[in-house]
Amino acid sequence: MSQADFGRLELELAEVEMPGLISCRTEFGPSQPFKGARITGSLHMTIQTAVLIETLTALGAEVRWCSCNIFSTQDHAAAAIARDSAAVFAWKGETLQEYWWCTERALDWGPGGGPDLIVDDGGDATLLIHEGVKAEEEYEKTATDNAEFQIVLTIIRDGLKGDPKKYHKMKERLVGVSEETTTGVKRLYQMQANGTLLFPAINVNDSVTKSKFDNLYGCRHSLPDGLMRATDVMIAGKVAVICGYGDVGKGCAAAMKQAGARVIVTEIDPICALQALMEGLQVLTLEDVVSEADIFCTTTGNKDIIMVDHMRKMKNNAIVCNIGHFDNEIDMHGLETFPGVKRITIKPQTDRWVFPDTKSGVIVLAEGRLMNLGCATGHPSFVMSCSFTNQVIAQLELWNERSSGKYEKKVYVLPKHLDEKVAALHLGKLGAKLTKLTKDQSDYISIPVEGPYKPAHYRY
Amino acid sequence: MSQADFGRLELELAEVEMPGLISCRTEFGPSQPFKGARITGSLHMTIQTAVLIETLTALGAEVRWCSCNIFSTQDHAAAAIARDSAAVFAWKGETLQEYWWCTERALDWGPGGGPDLIVDDGGDATLLIHEGVKAEEEYEKTATDNAEFQIVLTIIRDGLKGDPKKYHKMKERLVGVSEETTTGVKRLYQMQANGTLLFPAINVNDSVTKSKFDNLYGCRHSLPDGLMRATDVMIAGKVAVICGYGDVGKGCAAAMKQAGARVIVTEIDPICALQALMEGLQVLTLEDVVSEADIFCTTTGNKDIIMVDHMRKMKNNAIVCNIGHFDNEIDMHGLETFPGVKRITIKPQTDRWVFPDTKSGVIVLAEGRLMNLGCATGHPSFVMSCSFTNQVIAQLELWNERSSGKYEKKVYVLPKHLDEKVAALHLGKLGAKLTKLTKDQSDYISIPVEGPYKPAHYRY
Amino acid sequence: MSQADFGRLELELAEVEMPGLISCRTEFGPSQPFKGARITGSLHMTIQTAVLIETLTALGAEVRWCSCNIFSTQDHAAAAIARDSAAVFAWKGETLQEYWWCTERALDWGPGGGPDLIVDDGGDATLLIHEGVKAEEEYEKTATDNAEFQIVLTIIRDGLKGDPKKYHKMKERLVGVSEETTTGVKRLYQMQANGTLLFPAINVNDSVTKSKFDNLYGCRHSLPDGLMRATDVMIAGKVAVICGYGDVGKGCAAAMKQAGARVIVTEIDPICALQALMEGLQVLTLEDVVSEADIFCTTTGNKDIIMVDHMRKMKNNAIVCNIGHFDNEIDMHGLETFPGVKRITIKPQTDRWVFPDTKSGVIVLAEGRLMNLGCATGHPSFVMSCSFTNQVIAQLELWNERSSGKYEKKVYVLPKHLDEKVAALHLGKLGAKLTKLTKDQSDYISIPVEGPYKPAHYRY
Amino acid sequence: MSQADFGRLELELAEVEMPGLISCRTEFGPSQPFKGARITGSLHMTIQTAVLIETLTALGAEVRWCSCNIFSTQDHAAAAIARDSAAVFAWKGETLQEYWWCTERALDWGPGGGPDLIVDDGGDATLLIHEGVKAEEEYEKTATDNAEFQIVLTIIRDGLKGDPKKYHKMKERLVGVSEETTTGVKRLYQMQANGTLLFPAINVNDSVTKSKFDNLYGCRHSLPDGLMRATDVMIAGKVAVICGYGDVGKGCAAAMKQAGARVIVTEIDPICALQALMEGLQVLTLEDVVSEADIFCTTTGNKDIIMVDHMRKMKNNAIVCNIGHFDNEIDMHGLETFPGVKRITIKPQTDRWVFPDTKSGVIVLAEGRLMNLGCATGHPSFVMSCSFTNQVIAQLELWNERSSGKYEKKVYVLPKHLDEKVAALHLGKLGAKLTKLTKDQSDYISIPVEGPYKPAHYRY
C-alpha cells in the first residue's frame, strides 16, 4: 500500500471523529465561500490537519501547507494531501534549514504574491513575513547569534535576491492570519502593542473550545501516548514533575496522576500553584526534587526550565521531555555541548545522553521538541476538530470581512456565540442532549434562549 | 459550656486554617486602616464569617452583621461574635419576616445614617437599600405578588414611617459594596446596565481566587458533607444528577464521581456540556433521567429547574437539593401546594414529602435552600479564607479610595496582582514553594518577575 | 418528637437502602425459621443495626442487644428498638464499666441460661463468655494490669456471686456465634488454634461481600464524614497519613486522595506497600512525615501506631484519629498522662490536646476510638446491608444446623454461593443487569451457569 | 543499527525498570543454581521476556524460547536474545502453523529428550506435551473440528514419525512447569482434577504479586497504549464497554474511566458487578448498550462474548478488541465468514470490517487476539518484573526440589513469604520505606516481625 493510500484510510477514520469540520463542509460547502482565496498553512502536517486542509478546499480555497515543527509531520498524511488536495512542503525529521525552506515555499504562490490568508501555529509563517518586510527595509543589516534565527534571515536574503519587494507584496495581499497557540498569540499581542503588526489576526487559541480543550484534554491524552511509544515505561509508581500548571500542565498532571504516578508541580504563578494543591499535587521547585523524580515534562512556554545542571543530578534513565513550546524549554544546547557527554539513540526521537563522570544517563524525547508530536501522533482527532473548526470559522470571518474594514491590524478573538457553536457541533457525536431555557427562565437570568450563555470574562 | 465559648473554640481552630485573613491582620492591623468605618455585612453567619468579622474589626472597623440565608447561621459563631466583637442579627431557622428584619437592623446604624461599606453575599443588603430608595420615591405605589418581596416592601414601609428619607441618607453615606456571589454580581451588572446602581461595587466573585476556589473546591467539599449529615445515604453506586456545570456544578459533579456515584449532568451551555463529556460524565435532560436517578442537585443560578412534576416521577426516597442559588431552583411552591402531599420532617432541614397517589416520597433538603449551609456547616475555613481575603482587600480598596474618585457607580473587579497575592498568602500553610522567574526568562516572555503572570482574559 | 419516633423515621429510610435485609424478610419471614431462638447481639447500636435486629425478629427470633463501642450508639435507634422490638442495653458515651455491664445484660436471658446465638462485632460478647467460663474454673485467680480487662473480670466475678455456673450454662446452650470484624475473627482463629473455642463460629468478615465492601467502601464514605462533622477541616490541599493499607486503609486513602489531599501510607507488608505505590501514593514511615502532615488516621488493627512522642512533633492542630480497631492504635494513655498536657474539649468526641512546652496542640477524635462511629454515624445503610445480610444468613445457617453436627467448635466461612447471593440481592437497587452464561460458555470454562463463579482463592 | 543492537539497547533500559530480576541475578547468580537445567519457555517474546531469559541464563540455565501468541513477538527483542543468549523461535505475525512449529522446536532439545523445566504462559507448551503423550498412545485416533487444534495434532503426528516415543521421553525428563496466566492455570487445575497432569506445576498467576499487579496495573497501562497506537482515537467522551470485571477488567475499566470515557461493565458474577457499581460504573448487558458505545473490550477468559450479530449493530467505526484471552472472545470466525463483509487493513493489526448492507464498519484490533501485545508492546517492564521474578523463583523451587519428592503431579502456589519477597524487591526503585513491627506489636497481633504478614485467604 502506498503512503498516500495509507494516509487516505486514516483520513477517513479521522473524519468520523471530527464532526465540527464535517459540519462546516455540509453548512458552507455548497456556497464555496473561499472561492478565489489562497490559504497558506503552517501547522503540524498530521492526519487531523489533513482533514482541516480538505475542509478548506471543500469550501473553495486553494491551499499550500508546511509543518510548524521538524518532527511533527506524519508522512502518510502529507502524501495523501499532496496527491489529492494541496501542495505540501513537510516531512518527518526536517533539518532547520529544510524547515524554513518549507515555510518559505508554502508562502510563495508565485509571481502573483503570497497567500490571502494564513493558518498559523506558533507564528512562524507570520514571523517570516514580518522579518521579511523588515529585512527588505534594512537589507543585510540585521545580525543575530541565535542559530535558528540566522537560518530565517538567510532564507529571507536568498529570496530577496530574486525580488527585493517580495515580502512587501506578500504583506499587501494578505487579508489576515488565524493563530492557534499560546506562544504564537503572545507574539501577535506584542506586535500589536509595538504597532508592528502588519495585518489583522484572529486569536483562535483563546476560544474556550480551543485552549480549554486542545491544550488541556489533548495533552492529557498525548503525554502518556508519547511516553509509552518512546519508552514503554510504566507510569504507575513513578514520580512525575510537571513544570508549569497552565492548561497544558493541568492536562499533563491529570494524565500522570490518573496513570498512577505521584505528581509534583513547579509554578511561578501562585494561583495556578494553589489550583495544583487543591488537586492533591505537591508544589515544589525543580531543585527540590530533581534527584528523586523519574519523569520531567515542561509545559511552561518559557525557556531555560530544565538545564543541563539539573539533568546531571537526575536519577539514571530519568525521562526528560517537553510538551509546551520550543525546544529551549530544555537546555538542549547545554546538553549537546557538555564535555564528554555521549548520545545513544535508542530509536528516532528517543535518545539516552550519558554523562562522562557518573556514567548515568537521561532519556530525552524528541530532541527537546514537542514530544507528543515527535514521539506519538499528536492530539487525537476529536479534540483537534474543536480547534480546527475554530480555525475554519476564523478564516471564513477574515475572508468574508476582507473588504468591510471590520478588522484592523489588531488581534481579535471569536465572539462567544461562535465558540458555543463549535462546542455544539461536537455534542451529537458523544450522545449528549442539551437542556433548553424556557422563555421565563431566559427572562429571569437575562440570557437569550439561544445564547451566548456566559459573560466574556467567564472562565469555565 | 456556653454557645459563645463553644464558638470561640471553633473560631480559634478556624484561624489556623485561614492564613489569608490572619496575614491581613498582621499586615494591616497596626495602621488601623478602617478606623472610623462602619461596615454592615449580609453574609452567612458561620465560624468562617466570624473570622472575617474579627479581621475587619482588627483593622479598625465597627461592624454590624446579619446572615443572607435563613438556615445558614451557626448559632455558636453568632454568639461568640455578639459577645466579643460586633452586633449580630442572625440565628438558624429564621422566618422570612425575621430574615428581612435582621437585614434592616444590620443596616441601621442609628440617627447618623447607615453603613460606610457593605459586605454582601447574594445582594440582599444592596437590594434593600435600592428598593428603599425607590420606595421613598414612589411611596406606597409598588406592588408585587412575590411573597418574599412583599415582606421586603413591608419592612421598608415600616421603616419609612419613622424617617421618610432613611434610605436616601443611607445611600449618601455609603462608600460602596463588595459582593461575592454569582447571583449578587449579576444583579449589580444589571443595575449598572440600567443606570440604577447607587454606589460603587467591587465584584469579588470573579476574582479567580474566589469563583475558581470557593465555588468549585468549596462545593466539592460541602455537597457530600451536607448529604451525609442530612441523610447518611451511601453515595457510591448511586446515580446523581447535577443540574448545571458551572464552577459550582463542576465541584459537585467531581465530588459525586469521586465518592463512587454515576453522574449525569444537565446543561444549557454547549461548552460546559462538552467539558462534562470530557470528564466522562453523561449529559442528558432532566426528563431523560428523572425516574432512574437517586440524587438530584441544582447548581444553576436559575429558577424552575426541578419542578413538582419531576419530583412526582422520581424513585421513592430520591434526594432533591439545591446548592446553587435561591430556593426557587426547586419548585418548593409547587411541592408545598400539591393536593394531598404530606410532609414528614425526619429532622430539621430533612423532610420527606409523600405524594398521595403513589405513596412514594422524595427527600428535600433545607427546604430547597442551600443545602451545604442548611444541612452542614458550609464551606470549610481554608477555601473561605481565599474568598474573605478578597473581601477584606476589596473593602480596604473602597475605603482607601473613598475620596479619590477612583470608583464610580459601576462594578469593578480586583486587579490581578491582588488576586495573585490572595493565592500567595495561602501557599505556605500547604507547604508549597514557588519557582521564581529569572530576569532572562522574565524578558523572554515579557512578564514581570513579581507578576501579574497572566493576561486579564486568562481562564485558569 | 420522641427519640423513638425519630429513630423509627430514620429506620424507615434505611430500610429502602438495605435491600439484602428486606429480601431476607420476604424470603424467610413466612416460615419463621428463628422461632424459639434467642439471639444476643454485641454490635454498634445504629440505625442500620436496628434494621438488622428487626430482620432477626421478623424471622421469629427473640433479641437482646448491646453496643460494641462506648461511642457508637445512636440513641434514637436504640430508643426505637427498645420501644418496638427488642431489649437494648446501649447509649452513646458509656463508661467502660457501663459498657461491660451492658454486654453482660445482653447475654443474660434470665434463669434459663444465655442466648442460643450471638451476633458479634469485635468479639467482646464471645470474649466475655470465654473469660467467664475460665473464671468459673479459676475463680479469683486471674490477674491483669490492663484497666479494661480488670473491668471485665469484675463484671464476671459479680455475676458469679449469683450463679457460680452461669457461664458454663451459657456455653452449653450456645449454638454458635457469627463475627464480622477482622479483630474479632483473629481472636476466634487464635482460640481455634489453641483448642479453646467453646462453640462454632462463622467468620462473616471474610465473606467478600463484607471485607471487600464494608471495610473498603464503608470507610471510604465514613472517614471524610467523621472528619467533616468533627472538625469541618478542608481536606483538599492537606497531607494525610494513612497508617496501614489493608481494606480499611485502602478505603481511607482513596477517600482522602479523592477529596484532594496528598496521601502518604505507612505499611509493614511489602505487597500492600506496592499496591499503594501503584495508586500514586507515597510510602514512608511515620517518623519521616510526622512533622509535615495535617491528618493522621490509623487503620492497622495493631497497637502503638501513633505514640505521644509522634504527637508532640506534629504541626499545631494536626488531626489524629483511628478508624481501624481499638483505641490503643493511638497512644491515648501516653497522651493523657503526659506531664502538663491540657485537654480542651471543642465538642463531644473532638478534643484539642495542648503540650505544655510548645503550646502546640493536636486534635484527637473520639478519644482514639473509631472516629466514624464516634464522630459521625458509621457506615451507610447500603454497604451495611451487605454485611448484615451475611450475618442473617450465618445465623440462619448456625440455627438450622444446630442439631446436625455440621459445625464443630471451629471457625467457618460462608460458602461462595451465599456470598454471591448477598451481592445479587443488592444489584437491583442500583439498576444493574447481570449477563447470563450460555450453556456452551459454561461448559467451556467449567463454571455452572448459576455459579459459584470463582475458585475459593480468588481475590476480587 | 541492526535489530539485535536495537533490542540490546531496549533491553538495557528495561533492566533498570526490573529490579526484581536484577536482584535475582545478584542473589543467585554466583551459585549458578540452574547449572545443567534446560528450560523451555513459551511466553510472549518481548523486551521484558528477554530480561527474564537472560536472568535464567545468568543463573546457569540453557534456554530455548518461543512466543505464546502469533502477534506478540518484538522482533528486536528476539534478535538480541538469539544473537546473545538463547535459541529463539518467534517472530511477529506467525501463521498458526508456524506458531505450533515454533512451540515444537522450543521443546525439542535433540536426542537427549526435552526440557527439564517449562516457563509457560497460556499453557500451550504444556498442552503440546500432554497431547503428544496422548497421541502416542492413541496414534492417529484423535479427531477434532477445531482448526487450530488440528494444527497441533498435525505437528505432533509429524514428530512421531521420527520418534514414536518422543513425548513420553519428554514427560519423563520434565521436572515441572510454572504457568502465569488465568487461562493456563485453569487448564492445569482441570488436569489435576482429571488425574491427567503429567508433572508438577506451580501456579504463578495466583501469586498476589502477579495477578493483582500484572493483570490489573499492567492492563491499566497497556489497554490505552494499544488503543492509541492502533487507532489514535480520543478516549475522553467516549462510551467504553468492558466485558468482564476480574483483575484484567478492573484494570481496563480504571484506565478508560481515568482517560475520560464513560464506562459500562458486563458481568456474570454478582460480586464483581457490585464492585463495579461501587466505583460508579454502570453494569448492563452487551445487548443493552451495543448500539451506543464506541469502544468494546473483552477481558473474560471465556468465549463468544462479542458475536458478529453484536458487531452488526454497533456504531460506524466502533472499536472491538480483546485483552483477556484467546481470539475466540470475539467471534472472529463469524465476522470473517459473514456474507459480503469487506476487510480493509488500515495498518497491521488494525482492520476495518465493513458490512455489506449498512456500509457501516467496525475496527477490530489484532485480529481479535491480545491487543496490548498485538498493537502495542504489552505490559511495561516494571510490572513484568514482578511477574517474572515469581517465574524465576518458581523455576528455582522446582529445580532445587527435583529429587526431594516435595512436589507431586499437582498444582502449587508459591508460599506467601516468597510473594512478599517479590514485592519487597520492587519497593526501593520507587523510593518506598517500609515500617517495621516492634517485637511487642508482633506479639500483640501474632505476626512474625519478618512476615508473612497475612493469612493465606487474605484478598488484598
User: A135-149, C170-184, C198-212: which range is least confident on average?
Assistant: A135-149
C-beta neighbour count of C17 within 10 angstroms: 25
Which residues of C fall in the annotated binding site? 46, 121, 180-183, 210, 214, 246-251, 267, 323-325, 372, 379
Among candidates B346, B376, B380 on the partner chain, residue whose Cβ is nearest the Cβ of C234: B380
Shortest Cα–Cα distance, B259 to chain D (Å): 8
Nearest to B302 by CA among A450, A438, A457, A417: A438
Taking the alpha carbons of B298, B300, B302, B307 in that order, is the dihedral positive or negative? Answer: negative
Give the residue numbers in B contacting D (CB under 8 Å), as ranges: 236-237, 257, 260-263, 274, 277-282
User: Would you call B330 helix, strand, or coil by DSSP?
Assistant: strand
d(C-alpha C184, C-alpha C201), whole Å: 11
pLDDT at B142 over 60: no
Which residues on chain B are in Cβ contact (under 8 Å) with C221?
228, 234-236, 259
Shortest Cα–Cα distance, D120 to chain B (Å): 38
- Cell numbers found for residue D269: 458474577
**For the stretch C375-384, what's the b/e string if a residue is b when 16 or more beta carbons lie within 10 angstroms of its beta carbon?**
bbbbbbbbbb
State yes or no: cis peptide before A200, omega within 30 of 0: no
d(C-alpha D39, C-alpha D114), whole Å: 9
Among candidates B232, B346, B381 on the partner chain, residue whose Cβ is nearest the Cβ of C232: B381
Among candidates B234, B347, B382 on the partner chain, residue whose Cβ is nearest the Cβ of C234: B382
d(C-alpha D347, C-alpha A356), whole Å: 42
pLDDT of D139: 66
Nearest to D78 by CA among D62, D64, D90: D90
pLDDT at D143 over 70: no
pLDDT at D141 over 80: no
Subunit contact C237:A263, Cβ cutoff 8 A:
no
Taking the alpha carbons of A26, A27, A30, A34 in that order, is the dihedral positive or negative? Answer: negative
In chain B, the N- to C-terminal Cα span, in Å, equals 45
Shortest Cα–Cα distance, A137 to chain B (Å): 25
Query: Of C222, C328, C391, C395, which one is the catalytic site residue?
Result: C391
Q: What is the identity of the amino acid at B379?
A: H
- B145 pLDDT band, cuts 50/70/90, is low
C-beta neighbour count of B209 within 10 angstroms: 30
CB B209 within 8 Å of CB B391: no
Which residues on chain B are in Cβ contact (under 8 Å) with C13?
231, 317, 346, 352, 363
Q: What is the DSSP string of A407-434?
A: --SSEEE--HHHHHHHHHHTTGGGT---
Subunit contact B273:A423, Cβ cutoff 8 A:
yes
Which residues on chain B are in Cβ contact (under 8 Å) with A435?
266-268, 285-286
CB A242 within 8 Å of CB A249: yes
Shortest Cα–Cα distance, A23 to chain D (Å): 17
d(C-alpha D385, C-alpha D423), whole Å: 10
- C140 pLDDT band, cuts 50/70/90, is low
Which residues on chain B are in Cβ contact (under 8 Å) with C1?
345
Apex CA D302: angle with CA D297 and CA D303, to 5°? 85
Which residues on chain A are in Cβ contact (under 8 Å) with B266?
435
- H-state helical runs in C18-88: 19-28, 47-58, 75-84
CB contacts < 8 Å between B and C, how many? 117
Subunit contact D228:A225, Cβ cutoff 8 A:
yes
Subunit contact A275:B446, Cβ cutoff 8 A:
no
Q: Which residues contact C294 (CB under 8 A, 6 or more apart)?
A: C233, C238, C239, C240, C261, C315, C318, C319
pLDDT at D230 over 80: yes
Q: What are B361's strand-pairing partners? A: B354
- Cell numbers found for residue D177: 512447569
pLDDT at C371 over 60: yes
d(C-alpha D174, C-alpha D177), whole Å: 8
How does pLDDT run across B366-380, given as a tens digit for each residue?
A: 999 999 999 999 999
Which residues on chain D are in Cβ contact (under 8 Å) with B262?
280-282
Subunit contact B260:D237, Cβ cutoff 8 A:
no
CB D11 within 8 Å of CB D51: yes
DSSP element (H, E) containing D291 = none
User: Would you call D131 helix, strand, or coil by DSSP?
Assistant: helix
Q: Is B181 annotated as a binding residue?
A: yes
Nearest to B459 by CA among A277, A246, A391: A246
Chains that touch C (3 or more CB pairs under 8 A): A, B, D
Which residues on chain D are in Cβ contact (under 8 Å) with B274?
237
Give the residue numbers in C contacting B (CB under 8 Å), as ranges: 1, 6, 9-10, 13-14, 16-17, 47, 217, 220-221, 224-225, 228-229, 231-239, 258-260, 292, 316-317, 344-347, 352, 363, 376-377, 380-383, 430-431
Place of cell 453522574: B263
pLDDT of C423: 97
Apex CA D284: angle with CA C210 and CA B362, to 5°? 75
Q: What is the DSSP string of B209-265?
A: HHHTTIIIIIHHHHHHHHHHHHH----TT-EEEEE--SHHHHHHHHHHHHTT-EEEE
Looking at mean pLDDT, say which of A98-107, B149-158, D103-112 comes out highest.
A98-107
Q: Which residues contact A12 (CB under 8 A, 6 or more apart)?
A: none
Q: What is the DSSP string of A130-145?
A: HHHHHHHHTTTT----
Q: What is the identity of the amino acid at B184?
A: G
Subunit contact B237:D282, Cβ cutoff 8 A:
no
Q: Is B232 annotated as a binding residue?
A: no
| Pair type for strands A262-266 and A239-243 | parallel
pLDDT of A322: 98
Q: What is the identity of the amino acid at B72?
A: S
How does pLDDT run across C386-416, given as a tens digit for each residue?
A: 999 999 999 999 999 999 999 999 999 999 9
How does pLDDT run across A310-362, given as a tens digit for each residue?
A: 999 999 999 999 999 888 999 999 999 999 999 999 999 999 999 999 999 99
d(C-alpha D387, C-alpha D215), whole Å: 10
Percent above pLDDT 70 for chain B: 98
pLDDT of D142: 58
pLDDT of A143: 60
pLDDT of C218: 98
- Cell numbers found for residue B209: 481566587
User: Would you call D26 helix, strand, or coil by DSSP?
Assistant: helix
pTM of the model as a whole: 0.95
Nearest CA in chain D to A347: D6
Percent above pLDDT 70 for chain D: 98
Segments in chain A below pLDDT 70: 139-145
**Would you please indicate which residues of B are annotated as catalytic (active-site) residues?**
44, 67, 72, 121, 180, 205, 210, 214-215, 219, 325, 379, 387, 391
CB B371 within 8 Å of CB B230: yes
Q: What are the strands of the beta sheet with B117-120, ordered from one edge?
A: B87-89, B62-66, B38-42, B117-120, B176-179, B201-203, B411-412
Task: Identify whether C5 is a catalytic site residue.
Answer: no
Q: What are C350's strand-pairing partners? A: C347, C365
For residues C143, C149, C150, C152, the Cα torsion angle rounded to the nearest 10 degrees is -110
d(C-alpha B271, C-alpha A291), whole Å: 41
Tell me which of B258, B262, B289 to substitute to probe the interface with D (most D C-beta atoms closer than 10 Å): B262
pLDDT of C143: 60
- Rounded alpha-carbon distances, angstroms, from residue C446 to A347, B307, C460, D286: 46, 53, 19, 22
As a whole number, mean pLDDT of residues C199-216 equals: 97
How does pLDDT run across D329-373, given as a tens digit for each residue?
A: 999 999 999 999 999 999 999 999 999 999 999 999 999 999 999
How high is the ipTM of this complex?
A: 0.95
Q: Which residues contact B260 (CB under 8 A, 6 or more apart)?
A: B235, B236, B237, C217, C220, D278, D279, D280
**Would you please indicate which residues of A are annotated as catalytic (active-site) residues?**
44, 67, 72, 121, 180, 205, 210, 214-215, 219, 325, 379, 387, 391
